[in-house]
C-alpha cells in the first residue's frame, strides 16, 4: 500500500549501535504507535523582530500503525475493514515543526496545531517564538482531495496530508454507498466540479451511466430546509463529463464534473446523488493526530532509532485548532482520543477557536470539508461539555467530556467565539442545550469567552477600517463556502487579535503554572443577554441599508435534526448513513446575543473597538443577488458586515438613522482617542488586553482619521 514510500526507508544500524537504539525504540513504542519518522526538509527561519532565539522549520512524515482491537481505536468507523494481513491498520501523516535551533532554549511548551483543510492555521506567532515555544502541526484529514491530496514527501511550504486505507468487504470486495454533491450559483454550458467548501467531493461515481445517479435542480431552499421547485433532470440531458465551448455536450468523460445539455442556470441549485465505492476510513485521522502528538511529546526515537528532534524538551502541550480544526478537536476529545494507547494523557490543554460543534468525520462517506450547509452532518449529539439530556432529539444525557472524565485524561480547555459562529455556524445549543430552557453549566476546567459583534476569526482591526472613504470599502464582503455569493455590507473589522494575544498568555500560565485565567464571559439567559434569534427578542434596531424586518426568525442558520437511519449513532456522529439526503425531522430553536440601541451585541469580553464603536458590527451579512442569485436575501453564510455611524447629526437625520453620529458621541478626534484609552484601560484591568497591545491601540487611535 505504501510502496511509493519504500525508497525513503533508512538503513538499519548494526552491532552495538543497533542494540542501543533498540532500547530507545522500545521506549518510543511504549508511548505511541508512530513506528517511523522521516525528515524531508529542514530550513532556518529568518530572524524575527525583537526575538533573539534562532528558529528552524522541520518537515517530515510519520508512519504509524494502529491495533484495531484496542478500545481507543475500536471506536473508529470501519477500522476492522482496513486491516493489513497482520491485523494492523497503517497510515502516513505529514508534519511540520517550528523549533529553536538550540533546543536548550526551548520553553518546554508545545502547541499542537490542527491543519485547516491542509493549511496550517494560525501561522507561527512571534509571541510564541519569543517565549521559546515549540509548534507542531500534523495531518488528520485523509480524504485525499484538493489541498489534502497525498504527496510522496513533506515540505515546509506544502499542505499537510494523511494517507489512510479504504474500507473493503469480505475478500477485498468493494464497499459502495450513496454520496451527495452540489453545484450552486454557476451559469453557462461549461461543466462544473462538485465541491465541498473549496475542495472537490472526495468520492467518485462507480459508473458514468447517468441512469444510475439522480440529478435534480432546485429553485429555492430556506433556512428550515424547505425546498421549492425541485425538478428532476433526465439522464439524457446530463453527463459525467468535462465540456466547454470547444468540447460541447456530452463532452469528455470525467467522474469529477457534470456537463448539462442546456447549461447551468445561476438562479438554481443542482444536486446529485450517486453511488461511490471505497470509502476512506477517515476516523483514523483522530488516532494519527493523537499518536503523532504523543510521539513528539514523549518518545526518544522511532522503532528504527531515528531520534525525535523534540526528545526530552516538551514538558507541557496544548492542542489548538481554528474553525474546522477546532471542530475537529471537540470531536477528537469527545471520542476519547486524548488518551494514548498506553492509557496516558496526550495534551494538557485544548484550545478550540471559533468552533462550536464537533467535526463530521468518523462515519462512512464523511465529507469533513463541510461547513454545515444543508444535509451536512456535524451538530448531532452533545455539543456541550458536561452530561445533559437532549429531550428534543430524544437522546440520553451525555457530554463531550464523558470519555476523558472516565479515563482521567481531560485537558484544560479555553474556547472562544464570535458572532458569526452564533448566526451561521450553529453554536448556541452548546450554551443552552436543544430545548433552550436554561444556561448549561461549565466545569472548572473549561473557560468560555465571547468576542461580541465579530465576524468569523475576527476582522482587520484598527479604526480607519470603520470609516467610509478611508478604510471601509463600498463593495460587500465575500460569503465563504461553496461559491456562496457576496454580502450587501462591507466586511466587519472587529478584531480578535488582541484578545487572542491575552488568552495565549493566560493559557500558557494555566497549563504550565496552574494560574487560572479570567472567569468565563459570554451571553447568558440568566443575565438577560441571550434571547431567541429574531428582531423583537434581541431588541435589534431598524438600520439604514437593511430591510426593516431583519433579522427574521428564520434568518439564522439553525440546527437540523436529521434522520440518518438506524445504523447511524447520533451521540457520537458515527456509523453508516442510510441516505445521502436525510429527512429533516425538526429544526431546533436558535438563540443569539441581545444588542444595544446601536445593534452591537451584549455579554462579551471587553474589546476596544466594541466599547468605542464607530458603527454597528454584525456577525452576519445579507447575500446580494448579482451573478450569484441563489441565496439572495438570505444570511451570507458565516461572514459579518458593518454599518458605519454618520459623521454628523445632519447626516444621521438625512439617512433616518436612529444611532447617534460620531460627533454626537465623541465630540472631536481627541474625544474619540479618550474613549479608546478608557476602553483599553478597562480591557487591561479585566485581563483581556496586554499592555503593549493597549498602547498600540491608543497610538493607532491618535493617528486615525476619526473626526479629523
Express each pLDDT in 182-241 by its tens digit: 999 999 999 999 999 889 999 999 999 999 999 999 999 999 999 999 999 999 999 999
Q: Which three cell numbers stand for residue 600?
A: 452591537
Express each pLDDT in 451-502 by its tens digit: 999 999 999 999 999 999 999 988 899 999 899 999 999 999 999 999 999 9
What pLDDT sits at residue 134? 97
DSSP three-state, residue 106: coil
Residues 6+ apart with CB under 8 A from 696: none
Q: Which three cell numbers stand for residue 462?
A: 484598527
Q: Is the Cβ–Cβ distance between 334 and 403 less than 8 Å?
A: yes
What pLDDT sits at residue 474? 83
Express each pLDDT in 531-545 by its tens digit: 999 999 999 999 999
Q: Is the Cβ–Cβ distance between 431 and 591 less than 8 Å?
A: yes
What pLDDT sits at residue 33? 87
Same domain for 189 and 77: no
Mean pLDDT of the chain: 94
Same domain for 251 and 145: no
Structural domain includes residue 478: yes
**Which residues lie across from 412 on neighbouring strands?**
349
Q: What is the largest CA-CA distance in the chain?
A: 89
Cis status, amide bond into 122, omega within 30 of 0? yes
Q: Which three cell numbers stand for residue 473?
A: 470599502
Express each pLDDT in 99-142 by its tens digit: 999 999 999 999 999 999 999 977 778 889 999 999 999 999 99
Cα–Cα distance, 456 to 458 (Å, whole number): 6
DSSP three-state, residue 460: coil
Mean pLDDT of 147-172: 96
Same domain for 236 and 156: no
Phi, psi (5° rounding) for residue 437? -85, -25
Same domain for 598 and 453: yes
Structural domain includes residue 336: no
Same domain for 406 and 504: yes
Express each pLDDT in 244-295 by its tens digit: 999 999 999 999 999 999 999 999 999 999 999 999 999 999 999 999 999 9
Q: Is the Cβ–Cβ distance between 521 and 450 less than 8 Å?
A: yes
Torsion of CA 8, 9, 14, 17, to 10 degrees: 80
pLDDT higher than 60, residue 32:
no
Express each pLDDT in 315-325 by its tens digit: 999 999 999 99
Structural domain includes residue 612: yes
What pLDDT sits at residue 30? 42
Structural domain includes residue 216: yes
Length of the chain: 708
Cα–Cα distance, 480 to 70 (Å, whole number): 40
Q: Is the Cβ–Cβ distance between 217 and 231 less than 8 Å?
A: yes
Same domain for 207 and 90: no
Domain count, the chain: 3
In this structure, the number of other CB atoms found within 10 A of the CB of residue 23 comes to: 12
How large a percentage of the chain has pLDDT more than 70? 95
What pLDDT sits at residue 14? 35
pLDDT band with cut points at 50, 70 and 90 for residue 34: very high
Containing 55, the helix (H) or strand (E) segment is strand 55-66
Q: Which CATH number covers residue 217?
A: 2.60.40
Same domain for 243 and 109: no
Residues 6+ apart with CB under 8 A from 676: 463, 608, 612, 697, 698, 701
Phi, psi (5° rounding) for residue 191? -70, 160
Same domain for 695 and 643: yes
Q: Is the Cβ–Cβ distance between 273 and 213 less than 8 Å?
A: yes
Structural domain includes residue 360: no
- Domain, as residue range, for 299: 3-166+281-314
Instruction: Using the CB atoms, write b or e for 441-472: b if 16+ within 10 Å.
Output: ebeebbbbbbbbbbbbbbbebbbbbbbeeebb
Q: Which three cell numbers stand for residue 392?
A: 428534543
Express each pLDDT in 609-631 by its tens digit: 999 999 999 999 999 999 999 99
Structural domain includes residue 348: no
Same domain for 488 and 415: yes
What pLDDT sits at residue 10? 30
pLDDT higher than 90, residue 557:
yes
More confident: 525 or 16:
525
pLDDT band with cut points at 50, 70 and 90 for residue 7: very low
Same domain for 230 and 124: no
Q: What is residue 668's DSSP assignment?
A: S
Same domain for 301 and 232: no
Same domain for 436 and 551: yes
Structural domain includes residue 207: yes
Query: If we measure between CA atoms, which residue out of 601, 605, 604, 603 comes closest to residue 689?
Result: 605
Q: Which residue has the cell 508534519?
A: 95
Question: Does pTM top 0.85 for this prediction?
Answer: yes
Q: What is residue 623's DSSP assignment?
A: B
Query: If we measure between CA atoms, which residue out of 47, 40, 155, 160 comes closest to residue 101?
Result: 47
Structural domain includes residue 354: no
Amino acid at each position: 500500500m505504501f510502496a511509493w514510500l519504500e525508497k525513503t526507508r533508512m538503513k538499519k544500524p548494526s552491532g552495538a549501535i543497533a542494540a542501543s537504539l533498540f532500547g530507545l525504540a522500545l521506549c518510543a513504542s511504549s508511548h505511541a504507535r508512530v513506528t517511523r519518522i522521516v525528515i524531508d526538509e529542514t530550513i532556518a527561519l529568518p530572524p524575527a523582530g525583537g526575538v533573539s532565539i534562532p528558529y528552524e522549520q522541520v518537515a517530515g512524515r510519520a508512519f504509524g500503525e494502529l491495533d484495531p482491537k484496542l478500545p481507543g481505536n475500536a471506536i473508529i468507523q470501519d477500522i476492522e475493514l482496513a486491516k493489513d494481513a497482520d491485523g494492523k491498520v497503517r497510515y502516513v501523516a505529514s508534519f511540520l515543526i517550528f523549533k529553536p535551533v538550540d533546543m536548550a532554549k526551548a520553553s518546554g511548551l508545545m502547541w499542537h496545531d490542527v491543519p485547516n483543510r491542509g493549511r496550517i492555521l494560525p501561522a507561527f506567532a512571534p509571541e510564541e517564538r519569543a517565549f521559546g515555544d515549540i509548534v507542531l502541526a500534523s495531518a488528520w484529514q485523509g480524504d485525499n482531495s484538493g489541498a489534502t491530496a497525498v504527496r510522496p514527501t513533506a515540505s515546509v511550504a506544502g499542505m499537510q496530508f494523511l494517507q489512510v486505507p479504504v474500507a473493503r468487504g469480505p475478500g477485498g470486495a468493494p464497499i459502495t454507498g450513496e454520496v451527495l454533491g452540489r453545484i450552486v450559483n454557476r451559469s453557462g454550458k461549461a461543466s462544473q466540479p462538485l465541491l465541498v467548501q473549496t475542495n472537490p467531493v472526495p468520492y467518485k461515481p462507480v459508473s458514468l451511466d447517468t441512469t444510475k445517479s439522480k440529478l435534480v435542480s432546485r429553485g429555492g431552499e430556506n433556512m428550515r430546509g424547505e425546498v421549492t421547485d425541485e425538478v428532476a433532470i433526465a439522464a439524457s440531458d446530463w453527463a459525467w463529463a468535462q465540456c466547454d465551448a470547444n468540447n460541447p455536450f456530452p463532452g469528455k468523460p470525467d467522474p469529477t464534473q457534470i456537463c448539462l445539455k442546456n447549461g447551468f442556470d445561476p438562479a438554481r441549485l443542482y444536486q446529485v446523488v450517486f453511488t461511490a465505492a471505497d470509502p476512506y476510513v477517515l476516523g483514523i485521522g483522530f488516532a494519527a493526530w493523537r499518536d503523532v502528538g504523543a510521539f513528539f511529546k514523549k518518545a526518544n526515537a522511532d522503532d528504527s532509532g531515528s531520534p525525535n528532534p523534540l526528545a526530552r524538551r516538551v514538558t507541557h502541550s496544548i492542542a489548538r485548532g481554528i474553525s474546522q480544526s477546532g471542530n475537529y478537536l471537540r470531536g477528537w476529545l469527545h471520542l476519547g482520543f486524548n488518551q494514548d494507547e498506553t492509557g496516558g494523557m496526550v495534551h494538557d490543554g485544548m484550545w478550540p477557536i471559533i468552533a462550536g460543534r464537533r467535526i463530521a468525520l468518523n462515519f462512512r462517506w464523511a465529507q469533513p470539508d463541510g461547513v454545515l450547509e444543508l444535509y451536512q452532518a456535524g451538530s448531532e449529539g452533545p455539543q456541550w461539555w458536561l452530561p445533559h439530556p437532549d429531550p428534543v432529539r430524544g437522546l440520553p444525557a451525555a457530554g463531550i467530556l464523558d470519555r476523558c472524565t472516565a479515563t482521567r485524561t481531560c485537558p484544560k480547555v479555553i474556547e472562544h467565539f464570535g458572532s458569526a459562529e452564533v448566526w451561521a455556524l450553529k453554536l448556541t445549543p452548546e450554551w443552552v442545550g436543544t430545548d433552550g430552557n436554561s444556561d448549561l453549566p461549565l466545569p472548572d476546567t473549561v473557560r468560555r469567552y465571547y468576542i461580541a459583534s465579530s465576524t468569523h476569526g475576527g476582522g482587520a482591526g484598527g479604526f480607519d477600517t470603520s470609516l467610509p472613504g478611508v478604510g471601509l470599502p463600498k463593495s460587500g464582503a465575500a460569503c465563504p463556502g461553496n461559491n456562496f455569493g457576496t454580502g450587501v455590507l462591507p466586511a466587519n473589522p472587529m478584531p480578535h487579535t488582541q484578545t487572542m494575544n491575552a488568552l495565549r498568555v493566560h493559557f500558557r500560565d494555566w497549563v504550565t503554572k496552574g494560574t487560572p485565567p479570567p472567569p468565563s464571559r459570554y451571553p447568558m439567559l440568566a443575565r438577560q443577554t441571550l434571547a431567541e434569534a429574531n428582531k423583537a427578542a434581541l431588541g435589534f434596531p431598524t438600520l439604514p441599508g437593511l430591510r426593516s424586518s431583519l433579522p427574521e426568525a428564520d434568518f439564522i442558520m439553525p440546527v437540523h435534526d436529521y434522520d440518518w437511519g438506524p445504523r447511524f449513532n447520533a451521540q457520537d456522529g458515527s456509523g453508516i448513513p442510510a441516505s445521502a439526503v436525510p429527512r429533516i425531522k425538526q429544526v431546533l430553536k436558535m438563540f443569539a446575543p441581545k444588542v444595544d440601541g446601536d445593534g452591537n451585541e451584549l455579554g462579551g469580553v471587553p474589546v476596544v473597538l466594541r466599547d468605542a464603536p464607530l458603527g454597528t458590527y454584525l456577525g452576519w451579512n445579507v447575500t446580494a443577488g448579482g451573478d450569484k442569485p441563489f441565496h439572495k436575501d438570505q444570511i451570507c453564510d458565516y461572514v459579518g458586515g458593518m454599518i458605519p455611524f454618520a459623521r454628523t447629526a445632519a447626516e444621521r437625520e438625512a439617512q433616518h438613522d436612529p444611532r447617534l453620529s460620531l460627533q454626537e458621541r465623541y465630540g472631536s478626534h481627541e474625544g474619540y482617542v479618550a474613549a479608546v484609552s478608557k476602553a483599553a484601560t478597562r480591557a487591561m484591568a479585566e485581563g483581556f488586553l496586554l499592555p503593549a497591545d493597549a498602547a498600540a491601540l491608543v497610538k493607532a487611535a491618535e493617528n486615525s482619521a476619526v473626526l479629523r
